[in-house]
Amino acid sequence: MLELILYNLDIAMEAIRQNKLRSMLTSLGIIFGVASVITMLAIGQGAQQEVLLNMQILGTNNIIIQPVMEQREGLVVDDIGESNNGEDGESRQRRFSPGLTLEDMTSIIEHVPYVENISPEIIHDLQIIRGGRLRTGKLVGVNEEFFKINQFELASGNNFTTRHMDEAAPVVVIGHGIRTRFFVGEDPLGKQIKAGNIWYTVIGVLQEKRLTSSQIENLGIRDYNMDIYAPVTTTLLRFRNRAQVSSSDLGGSSSSDFNYHQLDKLVVRVTDSEFSVTVSEIISRMLQRRHNDVIDFEIIVPELLLQQEQRTKRIFNIVLAAIASISLIVGGIGIMNIMLASVVERFREIGVRRAVGALQQDIRLQFLTEALLISVIGGIVGITLGFVMSYAIQLTAGIATLITGVSILISFGVATAVGVIFGYFPAKRAAEQDPVVALRRE
């Protein structure tokens, strides 16, 4: 059997060598089809990887609670300054909300199930000073669970302790970017750094968090490497606590004119992502009651947003791959067309082989091997071209591409199948020729 296969391969190679230009033109459809499929799959895999990285950055089990401007609802005030009454005869009064506070965080911990960790964030924009260097940055008030929730690793030093939180100690953990700019060539642990008007002692340094500009922009996150992290109690004690600020403190401005929320964000980590939606609904109802039915917060489940983006990209990639596959079908039609023409041209060769004892299955295998060989060669060249096209798209368009072994196997397998399917009919037609009639053909 092996000898028969090698013999037919030799005949197929000889036929291809005798008709190099025709064989090359025949394989072009396969070449560009395979290259297109590989490129489309590479773009799809790149998009998939990007979504997974975004999930990792935002946290697959996280729920984000953010304060928003108070969403007020009421009756229109007429020209004489009296509000129109509702159907129940009572005018609706504005309700008071304490805003997003640490008490909300405590209530969530105590009453909401499936909550694994929770961390607040209070963000202050200020100037960072050390050793004659100045840079604007952010001081972020957090608790000790913040780094675990956001999957931050310490390069050196320690995390905040309960004592730091209870005593509102002036200590900080700095990002990798702060270290490289303010502590060049020295160990920052135990050193002092000034944020705003307060000096802090560095007790920890975070490992570098690799973020691209597109991730920062698309996900709406900060460059964590350039932040300084202090205990949340420290920021509340040493900076203005917004929960204790009233409109009279700001010159009689209405509550909608200033930020009355004590916290800028709450991040809740649930034990399993399957509970994310349920827990977010429970938290929403709880906060609505605690805020006296004032909807001055929003709850974001990053995993749902990213899953929707993932589904959209998957559908788009399937459509692109299907369009690219059309060129493979066109290439297969080209192979069948050329092979049919080749059968007509080689009637005498077929007659001679049959006359000396070749069976129908031998003739069928000969032409099928030739069609398959053209497809295989086109597939190999197409894979190489697919690598080049994917790399070129990544360089020129800035779109992430990722070529996997599965995409190569799929493309090569489809090309091989096209050669077999579209080469079978010409091979069958060649095998069915009457040897006497074939020998008479010139």
- pLDDT in the model for residue 141: 92
Long-range contacts of 313-316 (CB under 8 A, 24+ apart): 313/44, 313/47, 313/48, 313/51, 314/44, 314/48
Which residues are paired to 192 by β-bridges?
201
SS3 state of residue 33 = helix
Residue partners of 132: CB distance under 8 A and separation at least 6:
none
From CA 387, how far away is CA 402, in angstroms rounded?
A: 10
Question: Do 276 and 301 meet the contact criterion of CB atoms below 8 Å apart?
Answer: yes
From CA 191, how far away is CA 298, in angstroms rounded?
A: 39
- pLDDT in the model for residue 282: 92
Nearest residue to 329 (alpha-carbon basis) of 37, 12, 2: 37
Q: Is the dihedral of CA 407, 409, 412, 414 positive or negative?
A: negative
Q: At what angle do helices 2-18 and 360-397 cross, to 10 degrees?
A: 60
Quickly tell me which residue has 């004892």 as its tokens.
Answer: 357
Joined together, the tokens standing for residue 247 give 């409109």
Nearest residue to 99 (alpha-carbon basis) of 305, 244, 223, 237: 244
- Domain boundaries, given as residue ranges, for the chain: 2-53+308-440, 61-84+94-301
From CA 172, how far away is CA 195, in angstroms rounded?
A: 10
Joined together, the tokens standing for residue 112 give 């909401």
Give, for 138, the enclosing helix (H) or strand (E).
strand 133-142
SS (H, E, C) 182-224: HCCCCCCCCCEEEECCEEEEEEEEECCCCCCHHHHHHHCCCCH
Quickly tell me which residue has 């570098």 as its tokens.
Answer: 208
SS3 state of residue 61 = coil
Q: Is the dihedral of CA 237, 242, 245, 249 positive or negative?
A: positive
Stretches where the chain sits below pLDDT 50 are 78-92, 250, 252-255
pTM over 0.95: no
Which residues are paired to 322 by β-bridges?
none
Give, for 229, the enclosing helix (H) or strand (E).
strand 227-231
From CA 371, how far away is CA 373, in angstroms rounded?
A: 5
Quickly tell me which residue has 């090569």 as its tokens.
Answer: 412
Give, for 127, the enclosing helix (H) or strand (E).
strand 115-130
Joined together, the tokens standing for residue 62 give 């996280």
